[in-house]
Amino acid sequence: MRILPLLSLCAVLAWASAVSDYDDEDDGTPLSFGNSTRGFTVDARGNRPVSRGRDTYSPNLYVPPPISTGRRYRGRPTAAPVGGKPEALRERPVEAGGCTHASDQLGVLCPTGCELKTTILKQETNIKQAVAPLSRQVDELSRSSNNIYSYVERMSNALRERQKVVDGNGQVVSQYTDTLEEQHAYIKETIDTAFPSDIRLLQGALSKIREKIQKLEKAIQTQQVNCREPCVSSCPIPVVSGKECEDIFRKGGVDSQMYLVQSGPLSPGYKVFCDQTTKDGGWLLIQNRMDGSVGFGRRWDDYRRGFGNVAFDVGKGHCQTPGEYWLGNEHVSQLTNMGPTEVLFEMEDWSQNKVHAMYSKFTIQSESSNYLMSVDGYSGTAGNTLEQGATELHGENRTMTIHNGMMFSTYDRDNDKWIPGDSSKQCSMEDGGGWWYNRCHSANPNGRYYMGGAYTSRMAKHGTDDGMVWMNWKGSWFSLKTMSMKIRPFFQGK
């Protein structure tokens, strides 16, 4: 009898030893990430392999190297002028709708009123096209009703004539008359109830459509009055522009604010926020999180085009405060493929502590490769999550958190490494935003925004670490207060 308890004890000890070798340290204490004041035990997630022991850490076998050859710029020859006027560029129209490039003579960009006018005019045309056939149907129904009324009147006259000779026609005539009376009663009831009801419904619908048309016409008249004057924006765009923020800096745009960039002479311009003060300036903001005002759980097309608010005015007459936004994968791919590019991640916790991660080589491939990311050359204080994954994990559990060489994923386009093709196992759907997920992440800048930092699996939508995390600094269950991504052409002599 003593052997059975002894065997049970041995089994329990063996199980505990195997569990302790999964992800924890040798002494069995909870894992502690970076400067976090709370211990954090790494638990197995559904997307982590069920393996025991410490497997060998192995980065991805092959990752397309980021662009590192070619030069876009040499070192800056002289410091940019302070307080001087920016070099005036040749003015050209940027957007349609009557609004032009910013200048004293032509006003500034403001598509609001004119675009609304165009939208309302398109809606008016669509509604009129829908009303026209409806009006014809009502007319046809009215004519049809008149014909039926005439037919019923003729039948009533026939009934009266037949009733005069009913006595002489016998039982057959009587039966025929009864049938005729039943048919007459049915048709009469249909005419008196069903048709008027249908006509009233159609007339009511037509009346409502006419009211909507009148409102649209009134709105169009209001917009026509508003568009008589040149469009004026509370967020003017500086005259100086360029291929990217470094180009703008060299042309005299030394203030951090919203600018217009145009990557090529035939490419349309688009708005960006340029950081011209951090680490010598020239940084183009491609992502910014600061207050949770913009949701990042978006579709593929949203991430491709970009979304959010580039910048806003805080009462100084120009947009020098960046908003929450994602520039757009298509723009980022285009900018990073122009030549060697570096990327800077800046982040802050809820106690005003700040760290950064910089990669001297950063390239995003085209949409045909699902915007595959390549990085190299880490430096900084936040930890190299993109290339090395979560350093507190071991073996395959760490390898699957590497982001370098991953394709971009959104909840409607699954390109991660977690059981491809299984719609129930998607990193983007679980972790709250679009990103270069593996299985799933060690960094999640586009995750859900949690106030205060620490959060739990009960607070998470799917019970996973879906916050705005950078694991090598604060761990999985601490959502940062701010995070941004900035790119700049890489050149020697900065």
Beta strand 257-261 with 270-275 is antiparallel
Q: Are residues 328 and 387 in the same domain?
A: yes
Can you give the pLDDT at residue 14?
41
Can you give the pLDDT at residue 1?
44
Q: To which H or E segment does residue 52 belong?
A: none
- Confirm if 356 and 348 have CB atoms less than 8 A apart: no
Can you give the pLDDT at residue 285?
97
How does DSSP classify residue 369?
G
Can you give the pLDDT at residue 226?
64
Q: Are residues 330 and 424 in the same domain?
A: yes
- Confirm if 274 and 242 have CB atoms less than 8 A apart: no
Mean pLDDT of 364-387: 95
Closest Cα partner for 491 from 240, 274, 250, 242?
250
- Confirm if 329 and 303 have CB atoms less than 8 A apart: yes
End-to-end CA distance of the chain: 78
For the cut 70, the answer to whether the pLDDT of residue 374 exceeds it is yes
For the cut 60, the answer to whether the pLDDT of residue 28 exceeds it is no
The radius of gyration of the chain from alpha carbons, rounded to an integer in Å, stands at 35
| Residue 9 maps to a domain | no
| Residue 16 maps to a domain | no
Alpha helix (H) ranges present in 294-399? 300-305, 329-336, 385-388, 395-399
For the cut 70, the answer to whether the pLDDT of residue 91 exceeds it is no
Q: Are residues 452 and 325 in the same domain?
A: yes
Token output for 434 = 């679009």
Looking at 178, 196, 226, the residue that finishes a domain is 226
- Confirm if 460 and 478 have CB atoms less than 8 A apart: no
Q: Do you find a cis peptide bond into 440, omega within 30 degrees of 0?
A: yes
Which residues lie below 8 Å from residue 321, measured CB to CB, with a gap of 6+? Answer: 311, 312, 313, 314
Mean pLDDT of 334-348: 95
| Structure confidence by residue, pLDDT tens digits, 240-269 | 889 999 999 999 999 999 999 988 777 888
Provide the greatest CA pair distance for the chain: 122
Q: What share of the chain is helix, strand, coil (3-state, %, to 5)?
A: 35, 15, 50
Q: What percent of the chain has pLDDT over 90?
A: 38
Token output for 191 = 């005419």
Q: Are residues 256 and 322 in the same domain?
A: yes
| Residue 62 maps to a domain | no
Structural domain that includes position 163: 112-226
Q: Are residues 439 and 306 in the same domain?
A: yes
Can you give the pLDDT at residue 58?
58
Can you give the pLDDT at residue 50?
47
Can you give the pLDDT at residue 205?
87
- Where are the strands (E) in 165-292, listed by range? 257-261, 270-275, 283-289
Report how many domains make up the chain.
2
| Residue 337 maps to a domain | yes
The pLDDT-based confidence of 122 (bands split at 50, 70, 90) is confident
Question: In whole angstroms, what is the distance from residue 291 CA to residue 481 CA?
Answer: 7
Can you give the pLDDT at residue 461?
86
Q: What percent of the chain has pLDDT over 70?
A: 74
Mean pLDDT of 130-148: 78
For the cut 60, the answer to whether the pLDDT of residue 310 exceeds it is yes
Higher pLDDT, 402 or 8: 402
The pLDDT-based confidence of 175 (bands split at 50, 70, 90) is confident
Q: Are residues 207 and 339 in the same domain?
A: no
Looking at 197, 226, 255, the residue that finishes a domain is 226
Give the lowest-confidence range in 54-58, 122-126, 136-140, 300-304. Answer: 54-58
| Residue 38 maps to a domain | no
The number of beta carbons lying within 10 Å of the beta carbon of residue 68 is 15
- Confirm if 238 and 115 have CB atoms less than 8 A apart: no
Q: Are residues 171 and 207 in the same domain?
A: yes
Q: To which H or E segment does residue 343 belong?
A: strand 341-348
The pLDDT-based confidence of 21 (bands split at 50, 70, 90) is very low
For the cut 80, the answer to whether the pLDDT of residue 329 exceeds it is yes
Q: Are residues 268 and 340 in the same domain?
A: yes
| Structure confidence by residue, pLDDT tens digits, 422-464 | 777 889 988 989 999 998 999 999 999 999 999 988 888 888 8
Can you give the pLDDT at residue 335?
94
Mean pLDDT of 211-239: 73
Q: What integer best gives the mean pLDDT of the chain?
A: 78
Higher pLDDT, 44 or 492: 492
Question: In whole angstroms, what is the distance from residue 262 CA to residue 113 CA?
Answer: 24
Angstrom CA distances, 31 to 59, 444, 479, stand at: 22, 19, 17
- Confirm if 431 and 46 have CB atoms less than 8 A apart: no
Give the lowest-confidence range in 153-162, 168-177, 394-403, 411-420. Answer: 168-177
Q: Are residues 359 and 432 in the same domain?
A: yes
- Confirm if 86 and 239 have CB atoms less than 8 A apart: yes
Q: Are residues 201 and 272 in the same domain?
A: no
- Confirm if 44 and 400 have CB atoms less than 8 A apart: no
| Residue 102 maps to a domain | no
Higher pLDDT, 7 or 383: 383
Residue 175 one-letter amino acid: Q
Of the segments 173-182, 198-207, 267-276, which one has the largest average pLDDT value? 267-276
Higher pLDDT, 345 or 169: 345
For the cut 50, the answer to whether the pLDDT of residue 10 exceeds it is no
Looking at 194, 226, 258, the residue that finishes a domain is 226
The pLDDT-based confidence of 494 (bands split at 50, 70, 90) is low
Q: Are residues 341 and 445 in the same domain?
A: yes
Q: Are residues 451 and 337 in the same domain?
A: yes
| Residue 41 maps to a domain | no
